[in-house]
Chains A and B, each alone.
Chain A
């Protein structure tokens, strides 16, 4: 990965249901993490549910990261429940289990 050696990545472990009530706190958390220097790694492994509001926050965070030249990646595995939900809404075509495949397949991510 072409990141500078000194920058330690910031890992964010998300868990529980990510529904609209969590969208604002999630935005704040990700903004704070983006203010740091290192790449941002987000794990969805323990997320029980993901609705559009929180998905939008993740998309927007990726956009911001790209604009400021930072790396933003998913890590770990993605729960099949989340994959199924996003598949049904057209965000995913396949059924990726690993975060890197998930990231690559997510529409326009």
Chain B
């Protein structure tokens, strides 16, 4: 039993330590941010408390000393320097290692811990800064932030109570444009204070003929949930106080009622002073929706109702969010994997059920099967959504990579992130870690210039690497962009020739040339560094991303920087597929890459002769006969069908006997025996128990391009 608790403690501590890392990195850029110091202190304090409870004495003692020093920082008696952050990051790494062992930990770990504590004691004793460690690193060069008392967390009367929700009404006076006030920027600033909804009112706008283009007619209602105080909100409008009307009101969050609503529309309207209780009661007497009645009776306007509904919606979301945290539980990930496997089996079984019911033409059974199908689809979507994690959970790891590596390389760089909330399947996220580290290391090592070089090129001394993620259909696009020197075309070309990857004098497009950096054994670094430049990085990236069913592309601009884009499928377990048939064999084409299907008579197809390019939506599309490509015996039917699929940067047609229809495809990996089979990414089990291969559209398309449809010619011209 105690082992179970220990496992839970470890898991929770890993999470705390990963948050701590994030906090420390942020603290480095804002050393006086009181909330961040508090967060670091709290993390350390929690680890200390629970480690003592579960008998991890070494951890408890270690964290106790650090906690003491952090407490001094919190009170402002010790400064937060770059060195201190570096030391605490090391302490965090040490804790991470300690957690791997039971008590007592191995001797050398205990020794490492003691060495770290000595440095902490020195730091506390000096009161001003750290003594450099024996092996002085680049860190010691960093300056210390002055020892000023840390600012107390902001807020008015609810400092530690968490965020509050405010109702803000702001009406600029008509003449506000004449001062040069940027109204939208102020509204933007207001929105950036927290999570909220703004409702602009445009109903005062006259028709164009009588509009004074230099007068402001719009005003805003906003509901904002923020950790900032009322004064902070007021500060946004401080320069336009005389030129506008501002009302700020703190909203209490009432509990949700039986219907899951936080506050009724009528209550909001009364609070806003838009209706009286009497008119509300009268309106409620009719059977129509309250908002409609009030608008009909001209008690309030439609925008006023809309705006109140926005507030209602916002309050509900805030409420749900705060309840979400309480309602979540921790589940071991292997249980989740088992669940997905079971759902996969169910989907397969369901396919058999619907096929059987179709074959025996039994009415009641068919209706059961249909209901079953709907339920299974819901179960599948639900299970998949449980596996989805925000990609942001891995971002802090990369920030640490950038921080440590830039110190090592003597460069200045910062990692900016966008789209941390983008969700991806757990297994995909796990497999993305290493490729992303490789790409980021490469950007930092080869892309970002040294500070002096950047300065003389007219850039900021500090380079930026942006890691951005966003959804795009059934894919997630992940981009790593640096503002460094860009790729060196000539260097890549000559290196590729030197390595025998291309022939001397071979002509190629810029795009193809840049992609050479993903070729095995390629490296342009003149000096092999410990970081990258062994030429084992980028080809591994390509291989890993390919194995995820994704693709890599690259764009660069000399002197301006480089962007590497990864296109990754959302999930690896179950996909929507298009089932096609050639003779008796079935194949699945991932539906996400299917653009359309067309029918074509055999003789028409033959008429294309050697060209094997057809016109599809005013675009020339190469096509390949899968019968030919897979050397399936038998004769083609009179009318064949062509599935047009999107590959990375082109469309390709696949000629098949018949398009059967869409199919829930549970992906089963092919054994290692088949790992070199080109054009097939996996297999699935059909309703009748037979196996269908899943086609790898990207590989097939590449093969079409590469061997000029040589093999497919056999199929078409037979």
**B binding-site residues for A, Cβ under 8 Å:** 177, 182-184, 187-188, 191-192, 197-203, 205-209, 211, 213-214, 216-218, 220, 222, 303, 306
Contacts and interface: CB of A to CB of B under 8 A. Distances in A.
Contact of A88 (B188, B203, B208): B188
Nearest to A107: B200
A12 interface: no
A37 B182 CA distance: 36
A22 to B, nearest CB: 9
A89 B205 contact: no
In the complex, the 9 A-B pairs of residues with the closest C-beta atoms, listed nearest first: A90-B198, A23-B213, A64-B207, A88-B188, A64-B208, A60-B208, A60-B211, A89-B187, A52-B183
B184 A88 contact: yes
A60 B213 CA distance: 10
10 contacts: A20-B177, A27-B208, A52-B183, A63-B205, A67-B207, A88-B192, A90-B199, A107-B200, A108-B202, A108-B203
A88 B205 contact: no
Nearest to B210: A60
A109 B203 CA distance: 10
A34 B209 CA distance: 10
A46 interface: no
Interface in A1-52: 20, 23-24, 26-27, 30-31, 34, 51-52
Contact of B211 (A51, A56, A85, A91): A56
Given A60-B207, A89-B220, 9 more contacts: A20-B214, A53-B216, A56-B217, A63-B205, A85-B188, A89-B184, A90-B199, A108-B303, A109-B202
Given A51-B182, A60-B211, A90 B222 contact: yes
Nearest to B183: A52
Given A20-B177, A56-B218, A26 B213 contact: yes
A60 B205 contact: yes
Contacts of B209: 31, 64
Contacts of A56: 202, 205, 211, 213, 216-218
A7 B446 CA distance: 59
Contacts of B303: 108
B184 A52 contact: yes
A63 B222 contact: no
Nearest to B204: A56
Contacts of A90: 187, 191, 197-200, 220, 222
A86 B222 CA distance: 14
Contacts of B217: 56
Interface in A48-76: 51-53, 56-57, 59-61, 63-64, 67
A30 B183 contact: no
A30 B188 CA distance: 28
A23 B201 CA distance: 19
Contact of B208 (A52, A57, A89): A57
Contact of A91 (B177, B200, B205): B200
B191 A88 contact: yes
Contacts of A52: 177, 183-184, 216, 218
B214 A53 contact: yes
A24 B213 contact: yes
Interface of A: 20, 23-24, 26-27, 30-31, 34, 51-53, 56-57, 59-61, 63-64, 67, 85, 88-91, 107-109
A94 to B, nearest CB: 13
Contacts of A85: 184, 188
A64 B214 CA distance: 18
A34 B199 contact: no
B208 A31 contact: yes
Contacts of B198: 89-90
Report whether over half of chain A's contact residues are helix, strand or loop; otherwise say mixed.
Answer: helix
Contacts of B191: 88-90
Nearest to A61: B208
A34 B182 contact: no
A59 B220 CA distance: 16
B184 A51 contact: yes
A60 B206 contact: yes
B187 A88 contact: yes
A59 B199 contact: no
A60 B209 CA distance: 8
A40 B83 CA distance: 63
A107 B202 CA distance: 8
Nearest to B199: A90
Contacts of B213: 20, 23-24, 26-27, 53, 56-57
A109 B202 CA distance: 9
A48 B208 CA distance: 23
B199 A24 contact: no
Nearest to A30: B208
Given A89-B188, A89-B200, A90-B200, A53 B177 contact: yes
B192 to A, nearest CB: 8
Contacts of B216: 52-53, 56
A60 B215 CA distance: 12
B214 A59 contact: no
A57 to B, nearest CB: 6
A52 B240 CA distance: 16
A104 B613 CA distance: 40
Nearest to A85: B184
A64 B188 CA distance: 28
A63 B209 CA distance: 10
B176 to A, nearest CB: 9
A24 B312 CA distance: 38
Contacts of B199: 90, 107
A61 B205 CA distance: 10
Nearest to B222: A90
Nearest to A57: B213
Contacts of B200: 89-91, 107-108
Contacts of A59: 202, 205
Nearest to A62: B208
A67 B191 CA distance: 34
B699 to A, nearest CB: 31
B237 to A, nearest CB: 14
Contacts of A20: 177, 213-214
Contacts of A31: 208-209
A59 B199 CA distance: 15
A63 B207 CA distance: 5
Nearest to A84: B188
